[in-house]
């Protein structure tokens, strides 16, 4: 696909890749359109790039212990599927749904409120905090994907994580 990239959008991608690690915010596609004056075709190409990056993660196992930004979470997960949905409001955007299988075997979370370490499944199953733990797991997974490919952050890639759990009997 490299040879079909328009020269200008290639330069935009290279500039974004250089800036990606130092970004303190996640831009949206509107920012990119305004900043780089890209065409609709070039925007479509950026969506293709996002898809290619996310597809490379399929089947890979990630361990939160390898990422200091994971907070008090300690678990492993594998990306099992990536799908996309297009939206147009006021500009075209693509929402990427990433399916992640979270291994609960030996998985833990250190609760911010008490400082105590708890089995991740017990925290998820807790009716008072389970919803928050599940939401934070999604955030941790998204942050790890962006750490693995900072270009996702620079492109303002819209990622929704759907997780399922396994390894319960082994915890």
Given 3-state DSSP classes, what are the helix, strand and coil percentages for the chain, each rounded to the nearest 5? 45, 30, 20
Please, which pLDDT band fits residue 170 given cuts at 50, 70 and 90?
very low
Rounded average pLDDT over 8-35: 85
Contacts of 165 (CB under 8 A, 6+ apart): 101, 102, 103, 104, 121, 124
Mean pLDDT along residues 86-111: 93
Show me where the domains of the chain are located: 2-170
pLDDT for 171 beyond 90 = no
2-12 residue pLDDT tens: 445 578 898 99
Judged against a pLDDT cut of 50, whether residue 24 lies above it is answered with yes
* Secondary structure string (H, E, C) spanning 144-169: HHHHHCHHHHHCCCEEEEEEEEECHH
pLDDT of residue 169: 56
* pLDDT on residue 91: 82
* Alpha-carbon distances, residue 58 vs 81, 98, 126, 137 (angstroms): 6, 9, 30, 18
Note the pLDDT of residue 7. Answer: 85
Q: What is the per-residue pLDDT for 5?
A: 57
**Comparing 26 with 82, which gets the higher pLDDT?**
82
65 CB burial (10 A radius; 0-12, 13-18, 19+): exposed
Q: What percent of the chain has pLDDT over 90?
A: 64
Band of pLDDT at residue 25, cut at 50, 70 and 90: confident
pLDDT digits (tens, 9 = 90+) for 49-91: 999 999 999 999 999 999 988 889 999 999 999 999 999 878 8
Residue 37, phi-psi category: left (phi > 0), alpha (psi -120 to 50), beta (remainder): left
């Amino acid at each position: 696909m490299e040879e079909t990239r328009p020269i200008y959008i290639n330069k935009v991608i290279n500039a974004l890749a250089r800036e990606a690690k130092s970004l303190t915010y996640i831009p949206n596609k509107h920012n990119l359109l305004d900043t780089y004056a890209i065409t609709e075709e070039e925007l479509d190409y950026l969506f293709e790039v996002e898809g290619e990056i996310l597809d490379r993660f399929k089947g890979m196992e990630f361990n939160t212990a390898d990422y200091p930004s994971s907070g008090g979470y300690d678990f492993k997960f594998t990306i099992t599927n990536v799908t996309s949905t297009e939206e147009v409001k006021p500009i075209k955007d693509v929402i990427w749904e990433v399916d992640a299988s979270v291994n609960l075997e030996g998985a833990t979370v250190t609760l911010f409120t008490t400082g105590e370490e708890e089995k991740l499944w017990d925290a998820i199953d807790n009716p008072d905090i389970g919803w928050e733990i599940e939401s934070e797991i999604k955030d941790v997974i998204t942050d790890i994907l962006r750490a693995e490919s900072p270009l996702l952050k620079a492109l303002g890639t819209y990622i929704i994580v759907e997780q399922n759990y396994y390894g319960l009997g082994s915890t």
